[in-house]
């Protein structure tokens, strides 16, 4: 495969929301965007924008790709829809 073809394949590769990736999401109601890193549960820290798959948001976006709309269900709150704007490796 030529270098140009390899670059095109990399450009088309979609990252999924899994450990170690950074996810930018947009609240569909408020239009506010937020960026989070997906981490194991023992590394979770909301003030540092690190969430695990065991959080309501983390479980809703887990395994999803850019462009997907997810609904976050939190006990005692209204459901919130988020659009995944981008996903990529941390760092």
- Count: domains in the chain: 1
Say if 5 falls within a structural domain.
no
Contact (Cβ atoms closer than 8 angstroms) between residue 41 and residue 58: no
Phi, psi of 22 (to 5 degrees): -105, 135
Kindly state whether residue 83 falls inside one of the protein's structural domains.
yes
* 11-58 per-position pLDDT tens digit: 567 899 999 999 999 999 999 999 999 999 999 998 999 999 999 999
Within a domain: residue 24?
A: yes
The number of residues in the chain equals 91
Report if residue 81 sits inside a domain: yes
Handedness of CA 56, 84, 22, 8 (dihedral sign): positive
CATH code, domain with 23: 3.10.50.30
Structural domain boundaries enclosing 51? 19-89
Whether residue 64 is contained in a domain is answered as yes
More confident residue, 23 or 1: 23
Q: What is the pTM of this model?
A: 0.82
The more confident residue out of 35 and 77 is 35
> What is the rounded distance in angstroms from the CA atom of residue 9 to the CA atom of residue 5?
6
Gap between the Cα atoms of 25 and 68, Å rounded: 10
CB 69 within 8 A of CB 28: yes
């Amino acid at each position: 495969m030529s270098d140009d073809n390899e670059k095109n394949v990399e450009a088309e590769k979609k990252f999924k929301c899994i450990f170690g990736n950074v996810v930018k999401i947009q609240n569909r109601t408020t239009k506010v965007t937020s960026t989070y890193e997906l981490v194991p549960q023992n590394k979770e820290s909301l003030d540092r924008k690190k969430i695990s798959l065991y959080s309501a948001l983390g479980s809703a976006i887990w395994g999803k790709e850019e462009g997907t709309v997810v609904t976050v269900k939190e006990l005692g709150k209204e459901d919130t829809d988020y659009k995944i704007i981008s996903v990529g490796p941390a760092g």
